[in-house]
Amino acid sequence: MPGLWRDDFGHRADHRERRGGPVIRLLLFVVALMFVVRAEPIATVDASAPQEQRKLIALSFDDVPRMRGAFMDPQERGQRLIAIMKEKGVEQAAFFLNPGQLTEYGDTKGAGQRIRTYVAAGHVLANHSFTHPRLGGTSAADYLSNIDAAEQWLSKQPGHRPWFRYPFLDEGGKDMAKRDAIRAGLKARGLLNAYVTIDGSDWNMEDQALRAKKAGKTMDMAALRDLYVETHVQSANFSDALMVRTLGRSPAHVLLLHETDMAALFLGDLIDALRRDGWEIISADGAFADPIYRSTPETPYAAGTLAEALAWEKGIKGARWYERNNTDIANRLFAERVLHEKK
């Protein structure tokens, strides 16, 4: 779908050319300022702001179809995700599938039908491997076969995109030969390494909620919502600041989420909070059109977000990953704020 690919990004390029040189920009800025001081305070994103200052983010959901969480049936979860994105005007998110799980959970339980409803709502499907192996524990040949098995299923589906997301964001660790073998294999297959730039470990929050439910503990749902929202907005801003230091600009970001109950409950709140914080939600097609998603970063250890890898490659000082991706820190926050336990 080459037409769609240019949606958001082509639009950005147009703007950049029209803006002209520094003198014209300064003049436009002064004129704009004259209007702003006279007008009512502007609460929404200023669409005429320089593109480099805009914060763009696309949503992606991994591990589809994912196992049941603490709060609802997976079918209800899917319906809620679709309804939230429709209500909030999120036109296209990417769902990264493990088609091997369709056999595991059985199409009779509706996973196949749920996936078709995602596509009918305008969202797209891509490859997250057939059975979610960890590259560190798999040979390159077996790993590529696993990708092929998923692609065989996916290529017949409407809404399919030629993108691959590494399970566990494990791109081979210290094994450079394996890293390069998979990178070459993806290239030969015409698959894009569909990196994420923002990770808040939502899967772990889902897991914590499931454990609390099984242990019969009471969860403060408002506090859980706040923790989920705050964590992802913070993580987004962390990655954006890191990318601005690394690239000299804010790229089109991709947020990693999973097909979880957390998302079905709180995605609407998260979208609202991101927008209040100045973020614009763009399509997955638009985000992956950013040239950073053609990068092959050279780092001593291949794993994690693209933001982290690019910063490491460039020798950027300071923390390269958001602290709540440390599960000790995240679990302490969950215990204190959601379970009201003192640790």
Smallest separation (angstroms) from Zn ion to the CB of 132: 6
Smallest separation (angstroms) from Zn ion to the CB of 89: 27
Joined together, the tokens standing for residue 204 give 């772990």
Count CA atoms within 13 Å of residue 267 on its CB side: 30
Q: What is the number of the residue whose Cβ is closest to Zn ion?
A: 62
Residue 69 makes contact with Zn ion by CB under 5 A: no
How many residues touch Zn ion (CB under 5 A)? 3
First to last CA, the chain: 51
Instruction: Describe the chain by its helix, strand, coil percentages, rounded to 5.
Output: 55, 15, 30
Residue 117 or 131: the one with the smaller Cβ distance to Zn ion is 131
Name which of 94, 83, 88, 86 is nearest 61 in CA terms.
94
Count CA atoms within 13 Å of residue 234 on its CB side: 14
Smallest separation (angstroms) from Zn ion to the CB of 258: 7
Residue 207 makes contact with Zn ion by CB under 5 A: no
Q: Are 241 and 281 in contact (CB under 8 A)?
A: no
Site stretch for Zn ion (CB under 5 A), options 58-66, 75-83, 146-154, 290-298: 58-66
Degrees, nearest 5: CA angle 5-8-13: 100
Residue 185 makes contact with Zn ion by CB under 5 A: no
C-alpha dihedral, 259 to 264 to 269 to 271, nearest 10°:
40
Q: Are 130 and 65 in contact (CB under 8 A)?
A: no
Q: Are 55 and 250 in contact (CB under 8 A)?
A: yes
Residue 135 or 212: the one with the smaller Cβ distance to Zn ion is 135
**Cα–Cα distance measured from residue 318 to residue 316, given in angstroms and rounded to the nearest whole number:** 7
The alpha carbons of the chain give a radius of gyration, in whole angstroms, of 21
Among 7, 8, 62, 171, binds Zn ion (CB under 5 A): 62
Residue 135 or 252: the one with the smaller Cβ distance to Zn ion is 135
Residue 99 makes contact with Zn ion by CB under 5 A: no
Site for Zn ion in 146-175 (CB under 5 A): 167
Among 9, 54, 56, 63, binds Zn ion (CB under 5 A): 63
Residue 65 makes contact with Zn ion by CB under 5 A: no
Residue 133 makes contact with Zn ion by CB under 5 A: no
Residue 199 makes contact with Zn ion by CB under 5 A: no
Residue 257 or 267: the one with the smaller Cβ distance to Zn ion is 257
Smallest separation (angstroms) from Zn ion to the CB of 256: 9
Smallest separation (angstroms) from Zn ion to the CB of 114: 17
Q: Which residues bind Zn ion (CB under 5 A)?
A: 62-63, 167
